[in-house]
Structure 1
């Protein structure tokens, strides 16, 4: 028969699962954004890489905020534009939602946002220098917006959880089950 976990043991187990989930999520994001091409194509890009790639990347990079976003909106009737706009937001919603569970300090909005900016900027700079994609400041804006949406969802979930816990504690107090369970 399985031993029943204490509340603290169950909490620690859940944190381990969330950390593993967050790691898998980060690996999927890196695969989708950086290593999106077939492996043969990535090898060919890496094999032909030279210093000029950085200059070419700088020429094709978008450093003008909202330039690409405006283009996506202007051509919203084209499926690719809609997918890019919405996809760039949605792919980072889990980041903003999961990070505060993985790292308590990220429960602060600004800490979560700073981590999102650093992660996204790292991806964009890698794309700039590697030719495995193109640097676009609008990707940073959209990805961070997605992280903010995820963080707002985290706040909603936590508010609901705290409310349920308060109700349960009040119920336990009224029935006396809280004290009895502590004794057992």
Structure 2
């Protein structure tokens, strides 16, 4: 790790033996650390783009810019958490040819099997984790589309990103491609879109009260 190694070492020394499923904590730290690396390159490129835009005297919407950068960081983190895990990275993965039969095509079968394990943690994380991780996807996609926003377009973005992740997991052999993940990710995206619509309704209601 480049940025978070000292913090991770401290947490591991203090809580490593007391936290169940500590490898998940390590995965999150590693993914966040790698995300920072790639995010720096994004910020450099985005900074150049904004400098050119400012030079042309084009307006910059800073609130939207902040949301866009948070959304990009979130997308990069999501990909690292699901595809480039452990020692895998963009630089060292390669395509592994496998039959499509290795994909879990039948809904909820593998998720149901997780309830038969010694711990229900894997079941809860697979179900609720896949949903919660994609709530920001729905909210962010809806917000950034501005006037072009529709429920189906935002939902389509979430489905497309989820499908891309499952495809990369299969091609690079860095995870298990499962139809359940696509279903749960879609549910999470829908929740995010609904939260966006609620926030917009509350904002308009607040604006109306402000003007009256």
Could you say which residue in structure 2 is the equivalent of 1:83? Answer: 125
Aligned length: 153
RMSD: 2.3
Q: State the TM-score, normalizing by the size of structure 1.
A: 0.74
CA distance in 2, matches of 1:50, 1:73: 30
CA distance in 2, matches of 1:50, 1:74: 30
Could you say which residue in structure 1 is the equivalent of 2:36? Answer: none
Q: Rate the CA distance shift 1:37–1:12 in 2: closer, same or farther, 3 A.
A: same
- Among candidates 112, 130, 149, match of residue 154 of structure 2: 112
Runs of 4+ in structure 1 off by over 6 angstroms are none
Query: Would you say the 8 A contact 2:142–2:151 is kept in 1?
Result: no
CA distance in 2, matches of 1:130, 1:39: 9
* Structure with the greater alpha carbon radius of gyration: 1
**More RCO (CA 8 Å, sep 6+):** 1
Could you say which residue in structure 2 is the equivalent of 1:137? Answer: 179
Could you say which residue in structure 2 is the equivalent of 1:37? Answer: 86
Q: Rate the CA distance shift 1:161–1:140 in 2: closer, same or farther, 3 A.
A: same
Q: Rate the CA distance shift 1:30–1:130 in 2: closer, same or farther, 3 A.
A: same
Could you say which residue in structure 2 is the equivalent of 1:60? Answer: 102
**Matched residue SS, 1:38:** coil
Could you say which residue in structure 2 is the equivalent of 1:23? Answer: 72
CA distance in 1, matches of 2:174, 2:147: 32
Q: CA deviation at 1:154?
A: 0.7
* Structure 2: stretches of 5+ with no match in the other structure: 1-58
